[in-house]
Structure 1
Amino acid sequence: MDHTNHIRLSTIELTPAVLEGAIIYGADDEKVGKVDHIHGGNVGGMAVIDVGGFLGIGAKPVAVPLNELEFMRDEDGDVHALTSWTKDELKAMPEHHD
């Protein structure tokens, strides 16, 4: 997917209502996970990403800083994010427990 023309979200848009459910694309533009929920505010907050699994079953939740994800909207208005991590790197992170 070409993300160059996608509109980057502003800091005030980084809210749970906007970000939850967003697909995360990794370094090789592979789908690596989906935002399950957000901890904290839009500055210094954490995104809990479900990595792996199938249809939400068997996914591993990992927490990453919001500022490590580049959130944007595509041509249809759908929110997604880019990260420099691969799926394997995210899977290797400690499991997040609420």
Structure 2
Amino acid sequence: MTEEATIESTGPMIEREGFAMVAANEIVLTDLEGSTVYGINDERIGDIGDIMVDDQGQIQEVVVEVGGFLGLGEKPVAIPFDQMSVLRSEAGEVRVFIEATEEELESMQSVEQ
């Protein structure tokens, strides 16, 4: 995993006041690491725990830690990156959105990290 890896494409178009979609060539891994993942109704689903890239440095999957309490009992699930949308505020805050609920992600098979 390198900090120079860039996004080839982003997921579905999502609009939020004060935030703009991040273009595919405008984000690096450090922008995503540890970011909170939100559902389409702005509910917090989990946090990004790991990012998987291919040989060309393109993000393929993102491991989202869902469930748990205060960092205990979280379940890591892999989400294809093209199902996620990345937004950034003018202040530089990054938010990641997915068209799913926490319950849907919790029902997925966990991945080993």
> What is the TM-score when the length of structure 2 is the normalising length?
0.75
Match of 1:45 in 2: 60
Number of residue pairs the alignment of both structures matches: 97
Determine the C-alpha separation between the residues in 2 that align with 1:76 and 1:54: 29
**Unpaired stretches in structure 1, ≥5 consecutive residues:** none
| TM-score, scaled to structure 1 | 0.85
Question: What is the Cα-based RMSD across aligned positions, in Å?
Answer: 1.9
Distance 1:61 1:76, change over 3 A: same
Match of 1:90, SS state, is helix
Q: Which runs of 5+ in 2 are unaligned?
A: 1-14
Q: Larger C-alpha radius of gyration, 1 or 2?
A: 2
Match of 2:37 in 1: 24
Note if contact 2:39-2:97 (Cα within 8 Å) is conserved in structure 1: yes
Identify if the C-alpha distance between structure 1 residues 14 and 62 changes in structure 2 by more than 3 Å, giving closer, same or farther: farther
Name the amino acid aligned to 1:6.
F
More helix by share: 1
Q: Give the share of equivalent positions with the same residue, in percent.
A: 32
AA aligned opposite 2:97: L
Does the residue aligned with 1:73 lie in a helix, a strand or coil?
strand
Q: Does 1:95 align with 2:110?
A: yes
